[in-house]
Amino acid sequence: MGAKFPNVSRPILAAAVSMAVLGGCAVSDYQRPTIERVGAGDGRIVFAAGVFRGAAPERVRFTDIWQREEYALFRGGGAQAEIIYSTTTTPVFTVVLNYEFMVDDMVETWNLNRKHTKAWDESRRVEAPLGPFFYKPYRLVGADRACFGFATEWDHRGDDPDNRPSKVLFGYYCAKPGAPLSLDRMEDLIQTIGVRGVTERSRHTDAARQGGAARAADARTQANAALIAQGPSPSADRGNANFPFDLAQFFAEGGEGDQKN
């Protein structure tokens, strides 16, 4: 994982809603960036750890014509995990995900982690059904919580000069306060992280809904959905103010790409 972290700071919905509320703009429903809550059958991110069994995660989706980004919050038994899965949505254009940050940089973007001093362990790598994961253990000192951040990427574009991916997944897991979290337990948890349509059969229905009611969501509905993923405030114990990360980038063979926005 590279050390550079994208400059993704922006006001709430500046990237996603600005086009949607331009009443006279000649933009189709399919082209409008949309942020919406995700129904139980539409989610892609899987975290099948026993601690989360029986607790439905909260999910939010950002979609435009280049990319799809899903946020998921898992809570159960005092443990908490938040994950983002991003993928390009079209094979026609030369589009990749400009994903180039270290696991510890990524961990710092989540609201829960930002407000606590962290004691870090060394980075590690483990094979999992979704592919190779990089993960890094840490402890939230003031909260007495053992945690680890994790990230994986795949489907690298061979025609991209920088060999960047078209799919990435990243997030963290924190055990309940005071509970131990061994390296073996971390690696066991990573084995249960997946993506519907990749590691298991997909049951999602959102592809059939594109251009339909979901894309007609008004600005207020989208803002409410965004706040679920971003968190109610930077001091909240959930959310990531950078959502949507909006990682899609065009590239030209043999040359550097341009950020789509």
Instruction: Quote the pLDDT of residue 91.
Output: 64
For residue 260, what pLDDT is reported? 54
Determine the 3-state secondary structure of 217 from DSSP: coil
Instruction: Return the pLDDT at 253.
Output: 63
Q: With beta carbons less than 8 A apart as the criterion, state whether 98 and 156 touch.
A: no
How is residue 112 written in tokens? 């829960």
Q: Pick the closest to residue 51 from 74, 77, 73 (CA basis).
A: 77
> Under a CB-based contact definition with an 8 Å cutoff, are residues 176 and 78 in contact?
yes
Q: What is the pLDDT of residue 15?
A: 37
CA 130 to CA 169: how far, in whole Å?
Answer: 10
Q: At 135, which helix (H) or strand (E)?
A: strand 131-140
Whole-angstrom Cα distance, residue 156 to residue 187?
Answer: 24
Ordered by start, the domain boundaries in the chain are: 34-238
Structure tokens belonging to residue 252: 């030209």
- 167 vs 242: CA distance, rounded Å: 18
- Residue 164: predicted pLDDT: 84
**What pLDDT does residue 31 have?**
57
Burial of 80 (0-12, 13-18, 19+ CB in 10 A): buried
122: DSSP letter:
-
Handedness of CA 172, 173, 178, 181 (dihedral sign): negative
Which segments of the chain have a pLDDT < 70?
1-31, 91-93, 160, 201-217, 253-261
Q: What is the pLDDT of residue 246?
A: 87
Please state the pTM of the whole predicted model: 0.82
* Among the listed residues 164, 161, 167, 163, the one whose alpha carbon sits nearest the alpha carbon of residue 252: 161
